[in-house]
Amino acid sequence: MRIERRIDVQEFLNAHRFSSFQWLIFALCFFIVLLDGFDTAAIGYIAPSLISEWGLPKPALAPVLSAALFGLAGGALCAGPLSDRFGRKPILITSVLLFGIACLGSSQSGDLTSLTIFRFITGLGLGAAMPNAVTLMSEFCPDGKRATLTNAMFCGFPLGAAFGGFLAAWMIPLWGWRSVLMLGGIAPLVLTALMIFVLPESIRYMVAKQQRLEKIRSVLMRISSEAADATSFVKTEHAVAAEGQSGAAIVVSKPYAVGSVMLWTAYFMGLVIFYALINWMPVLFKDAGMDPRTATLISALFPLGGVGAVLFGWLMDRYNANWVIAIGYVLTALSVFAIGQVIGSFSLLVVVVFAAGTLMNTAQSSMPALAAAFYPTQGRATGIAWMLGIGRFGGIAGSYLVAELTAQQLGFAGIFAIVAIAGLIAALALVLKQLAQPKNKSWYSPSERAHLVH
């Protein structure tokens, strides 16, 4: 007589050390996010060459610079529901393939119109890849390390953007601006081929969709051979969605609606700060009397602090994640406000800009892990993707906000004071999310389990 053995997949992940197979998944997702950062930033690195080669006035670049942002938003909003319906792996592979092909197409563009179209398509792929990488990674993590590992993976984005800058500075003088886009296209295509053969489907997704026992067992056995004799698998959830409910319906359903809106608000406001400062600080510093080279170098300190997300991930795994990130946004607001007050001191300005960038990027990079922990498996990809997609419009709003403030001839300190308010709004949103649905680790119960029995 065969002995029945049921395995709870999350308890299985919690009980075993993080395996080499899980590190492989981490590496693949890290490189997806790294290439996302590289391709997102690539257009900025080649912009001076476009102006020179095509004889363009600076305002003419506005459509091509913003095309990817609109594509990023659209890709994220569409990919989440598709991932919750068809799986993390196929949508992730398709999105990486799409932005690789589109980036290669960009390298062959002969005019601004075709480049703008290809950059929009590139953005669609990039926008779809990011949330699915976060979702897949989070669903292979043990509970006690989920935020730390997800945030560490997310560090690939600023590293990819920075790495792209160094490569572009070397490649453009040798082979021209098209070589940067060719590299940005070839690398994702190579990664796509690797993902097809190596990347697994999310283990939690397979259980939720009641896929074949043998398929689930084969993936878990790559983590530990103890899964070999399992006869059924179950998963635990913070809250159970209605049977057959779509990812989109879950995200806006009564248990999640307030939290969803607060996540959207916080991420939107964080990108208001990021794009307002990354796009306008060199100009504002120059207008305040600083020479252009120094203004650019000090501004470049702002995006370097993203690796601080690993520390926040560690804190989020041990304390209430809503409060941890809310405090990060409050400190971001204070440091952004301080930039406007220390313009007269070079040394203080360097310290404050770097601190503001570290705090802002750390809080913002921690948001996907917070969203991943908030939603159930059936709606996780949609929840993360919609937060990232709606947040992209915050980047557009941030750029226009500073443009309008300068048009109103607001002073240097006043501009930074108003931008800082966005950090306080983001913090307030997370406080309201916490009050609306306090985090409670005792939510798991046998009645909240979705079963897969074969």
Average pLDDT of the residues in 321-344: 90
CATH assignment of the domain containing 32: 1.20.1250.20
Confidence band of 304 (pLDDT split at 50, 70, 90): low
**3-class DSSP assignment, residue 452:** strand
Residue 239 has pLDDT above 60, yes or no: no
Residues 151 and 216 in one domain: yes
Average pLDDT of the residues in 62-73: 79
CA angle 112, 117, 120 (to 5 degrees): 120
Has residue 67 been placed in a domain? yes
Supply the pLDDT for residue 9.
87
- Among the residue ranges 16-30, 377-391, 431-445, the one predicted with the least confidence is 431-445
Highest mean pLDDT range out of 46-50, 91-95, 281-285, 379-383? Answer: 91-95
Has residue 450 been placed in a domain? no
Q: Give the distance, in angstroms, between the CA of residue 269 and the centroid of all CA atoms in the same chain.
A: 15
Has residue 241 been placed in a domain? no
Supply the pLDDT for residue 332.
92
End-of-domain residue from the set 236, 271, 304 = 236
Residues 34 and 91 in one domain: yes
End-of-domain residue from the set 199, 216, 236 = 236
**3-class DSSP assignment, residue 246:** coil
Residues 81 and 192 in one domain: yes
Residue 58 has pLDDT above 80, yes or no: no
How much is the mean pLDDT over the chain? 83
Residue 445 has pLDDT above 80, yes or no: no
- 94 vs 306 pLDDT, higher one: 94
Average pLDDT of the residues in 286-304: 70
Residues 207 and 262 in one domain: no
* Percent of all residues in the chain with a pLDDT value above 70, rounded to a whole number: 89
Residues 224 and 273 in one domain: no
Residue 240 has pLDDT above 70, yes or no: no
Supply the pLDDT for residue 10.
85
Average pLDDT of the residues in 329-335: 94
Has residue 265 been placed in a domain? yes
Q: Give the distance, in angstroms, between the CA of residue 417 and the centroid of all CA atoms in the same chain.
A: 26
**3-class DSSP assignment, residue 244:** coil
Has residue 232 been placed in a domain? yes
Average pLDDT of the residues in 42-52: 76
Residues 133 and 57 in one domain: yes
Question: 42: which DSSP letter?
Answer: H
Paired sense of beta strands 6-8 and 449-453, if any: unpaired
CA angle 422, 427, 428 (to 5 degrees): 95
Cross-strand pairs, 451:
234
The pLDDT tens digits for 97-133 are 999 999 999 999 888 899 999 999 998 998 899 888 9
Residues 270 and 364 in one domain: yes
Average pLDDT of the residues in 339-349: 83
End-of-domain residue from the set 174, 201, 236 = 236
Total domains in the fold of the chain: 2
| CA distances to 97, 249, 344, 364, 452 from 271, in Å | 26, 26, 27, 8, 40
Supply the pLDDT for residue 242.
54
Average pLDDT of the residues in 154-172: 77
Residues 230 and 307 in one domain: no
User: Can you give the residue range of the structural domain that contains 335?
Assistant: 247-439
Residues 251 and 159 in one domain: no
Residues 193 and 330 in one domain: no
The pLDDT tens digits for 189-230 are 999 999 999 999 988 888 888 888 888 888 888 998 888 887
Residues 196 and 231 in one domain: yes
Other CB atoms within a 10 A radius of the CB of residue 359 amount to: 24
Structure tokens at 237: 């959830």
Residues 90 and 170 in one domain: yes
Q: Answer whether 67's CB lies under 8 Å from 120's CB.
A: yes
- Among the residue ranges 307-316, 329-338, 354-363, the one predicted with the least confidence is 307-316
Confidence band of 309 (pLDDT split at 50, 70, 90): confident
pTM for this entry: 0.78
Question: 227: which DSSP letter?
Answer: G
**3-class DSSP assignment, residue 140:** coil
Has residue 88 been placed in a domain? yes
Cβ neighbours of residue 27 closer than 8 Å, sequence gap 6 or more:
none
Has residue 223 been placed in a domain? yes
Has residue 221 been placed in a domain? yes
Other CB atoms within a 10 A radius of the CB of residue 40 amount to: 23
Residue 312 has pLDDT above 50, yes or no: yes
